Amino acid sequence: MYVRWLVITHPDVFIPYACIMKLERIKRVVVSQSNVPVSSVSGGRKMSEKIVHQFMRVNVKILEITELWLEDGNLTAKKMKILKLCIMFILVCPTCIPLLREFIIVLIDPAPDIVHRIQIILAESCVLGAMYMVICFWKNRSQIKDLVDSIADFANYSELDLLIIDEKAGFFSKIVLGYSLSGMVIYTLSPLLSTESCEKVKSQYKIDHGIPCGIIVPIRIPIDPENSHIFRFYVFDQVVNGVLAVLVVVNITMMVCGLVEHAISQLKQVRCLMSKLSESGNIEEKLGFVVKYHYAVIRFINNINKYFGSQLVLHFTLTSVVISLLGFQILMVNDRKESLMYALHLIGWLIMLYNICYYGQLLIDESIGVAFDAYSVPWYNCSVRVQKDIKFIVMRSQKPLTLKAMNLGIMSHPTFLGVISSSYSYFTLLLKVKNA
């Protein structure tokens, strides 16, 4: 009675133990039957085989460019890495420090109009979001590297081509990153192309405080716009900062999507093996392997939540605010080029949010499907041991695997709708404030 209560109330504690006990029985059976190779039981590669491949190559390459990826597990920064970090810090400061100063001013000073306030708040929100994701990733980068490398362990359970799955995840990452970078180019060129129209409609507040046209974010800068060379360098510095922010946020988000893509593919294989159990005369051995396979996928998802959960919080908190601010700016600005600029920015955030919620929903659906496949096994013709193991699988699968943003919630289709609903509420609030 106690064991039954423990299984129902604490499946994450009891199921691994039950799996291990079951696998020990299977191990004794396989060893006793020396003429049965391990690969015939598992349906996968031999345990000694190891895939030598850098998984998530597209995302890892970008992380190496931004100096966020931990190379060869070496925690001691080399001289070249320190030099690159110093250069990146020098490039970030000229934009981030004046932006932070302007952000404080627009919060205190009642003189700026609401459109200018929203522009500054929007820019500062994106910068703070990128910095938050960098800090969270840097904190767990050693564990994240091990997590990416652990994808190769699935070769012990399945004959699925992990390289094809990885190429598929990399292809989608390239599409989203390509759109984001192309949108960033338009985002940066739009103010430069609309300098003349900006000068005509420039507010008195910007004239009095010397806020120039032609820069991405209209802020006070300690540079004379008449000095073309220095001004161009400052514009270039803003472009670099914008590209870095896009690369960090989008790349880490797509990396999570790619990892979940691998997990979903493995869950589909678990379901496939489960549905074929009735075709085999040796159900007990096959079932034990499937239990171990399923537990490996569960452990992989738990590690994703552990090391990326804090970064997914950004999509629960900041995304709804940014979407509402972008929608407000699209309606308020008078220049079509600026409207296009904010529209592209808005579409990018929506694509990123939907991607992570879409993969989270797929993960939920596939993990629940394992319970149906387990129940479809002719358990009534099996031994009591097999019936108990199937019962464990069904009970564990009734608790779906989810992509969690720490304790704030899970990434799924309802979450996407909830964020959009929150964004619309903030948007209508901004319109009421503007009208007032």
Residue range 112-171, pLDDT digits in tens: 888 888 889 998 888 899 999 999 999 998 999 999 999 999 999 988 899 999 999 999
Q: Is residue 8 part of a domain?
A: no
Average pLDDT, the chain: 81
Q: How confident is the model at residue 15 (pLDDT cuts 50, 70, 90)?
A: very low
Highest mean pLDDT among 59-68, 354-363, 384-393: 354-363
How far apart are alpha carbons 310 and 335 in whole angstroms? 38
Q: Do residues 85 and 282 lie in contact, with contact meaning Cβ atoms separated by under 8 Å?
A: no
The verdict on residue 46 lying in a domain is: no
Band (37; pLDDT cuts 50, 70, 90): very low
| Cα–Cα distance measured from residue 335 to residue 175, given in angstroms and rounded to the nearest whole number | 29
Res 90: pLDDT: 79
Closest CA to 128 of 261, 315, 275, 318: 318
How far apart CA 119 and CA 213 sit, in angstroms, is: 14
Confidence of residue 238 (pLDDT cuts 50, 70, 90): confident
Backbone angles phi, psi at 410, to 5 degrees: -120, 155
Q: How many other β-carbons are positioned within 10 Å of the β-carbon of residue 435?
A: 6
Give the rounded percent of residues in the chain with a pLDDT score beyond 70. 85
pLDDT of residue 416: 95
Using the structure block, give the residue that is written with the tokens 């001013």. 105
Residue 24: inside a domain, yes or no? no
Range of the domain at 79: 56-435
Once rounded to an integer, what is the mean pLDDT over residues 351-380?
90
- Residue of higher predicted confidence among 304 and 383: 304
Q: Is residue 37 part of a domain?
A: no
Q: Which two tokens stand for residue 37?
A: 């190779």
> Nearest CA to 250 among 330, 312, 180, 311?
180
Kindly report the pTM of this predicted structure: 0.85
pLDDT score of 50: 52
- The answer to whether residue 187 is domain-embedded is yes
Q: What is the mean pLDDT of residues 368-397?
A: 83
Q: Is residue 34 included in any domain, yes or no?
A: no
Lowest average pLDDT, out of 108-112, 167-171, 264-268, goes to: 108-112
pLDDT of residue 76: 54
Q: Using 50, 70 and 90 to split pLDDT, how confident is the model at 96?
A: confident
217, β-bridge pairs: none
Q: How many domains does the chain have?
A: 1
- Asked, for residue 23, whether it belongs to a domain, the answer is no
In a domain, 35, yes or no: no
Confidence of residue 41 (pLDDT cuts 50, 70, 90): very low
What pLDDT was estimated at residue 280? 65
Tell me what the mean pLDDT of segment 340-356 comes to.
90
| 228 band by pLDDT with thresholds 50, 70 and 90 | confident
The average pLDDT across 361-384 equals 86
270: Cα within 13 Å, side-chain hemisphere? 29
81 or 174, higher pLDDT: 174
Tokens of 221: 């800068």
Residue with tokens 């920015």: 345
420 against 6, higher pLDDT: 420
Work out the average pLDDT over 49-61: 78
What's the pLDDT score for residue 78? 62
Higher pLDDT, 324 or 83: 324
